[in-house]
Structure 1
Amino acid sequence: FDPKTFRRVHGGKIYGSKEVPKTIDILWAKLKGKSKPSDMPIPVELIFPVKNWTISKAKKWLKDNNIKYQKFEPAKKKEKQSMSENTATMNPPKSLRIEFRA
C-alpha cells in the first residue's frame, strides 16, 4: 500500500470486527507522518451514497454500530458549467461523508 494514496472499497470490516455493508464505501489510507511502512492502512472516511442513505439513517447506523466520528457532512457539490450559458449550476451531493482522523 503506497502511503501517498487512498483506497476506496465497497463495504468490508473496520477495526477488526465492525462489518460495513456494501452500500457504504470505506476510504483507507495511512496517516502522513504518523505511520510506519509496516503499519496497515486505517479507515479515514465512510461514504454513504445518497441513493441508499439519508442523513438520519446514516447517523443511526453509526450510533447502532458504536462508530465514533469527527465530522459528518455532505460531499462537496460539483460545479457544472453550462454549454449554452456562462453560468454555473450546482449539482446536489451524491454522498454523505464522515471522517475519523487522528
Structure 2
Amino acid sequence: MWLNHDGINEQIPWIAGASRLPIPAAYRRGIFRAKVNAHELTCTDAQIECLENPPLGTMVWLTFAGLEARAAIVEESAAFRIRLRFVEPFHPAVLEAILCGSLRRFH
C-alpha cells in the first residue's frame, strides 16, 4: 500500500478520524483559565467547549500538551461552544503530531 502525501492541505485518512476525538487543552482569557476540549482542530482554527461565551473578536490563548500557548481570535461563541481562528496557523507536521498524540508522549 502506498501512502499519498501529495499536497499539504490534504487530510491523511488515519489522521482525519483522530480529529473527531476531543483534544485536551488549556484555555486562557485574561485571568480566566480553564481546561477545555478542542474539536475539529485544523491548522487555522478549532472549536472548543468552554464554561464561558466571550464576545466575538476577543483574543484568547490555547495551550496544547508539549507546545507553547497559541493566540486565537473568537469567531463564534454560543451555547458554550467557541469557534477560534489562530493568529498564526499550525504547521501541518505540528498539527499531525497533536492529532496523533505524539507530542504528549515526549513532553
Instruction: Check whether TM > 0.5.
Output: no
Structure (1 or 2) with the larger CA radius of gyration: 1
Q: TM-score, normalised by structure 2?
A: 0.34
Structure number having the greater helix percentage? 2
Q: TM-score, normalised by structure 1?
A: 0.35
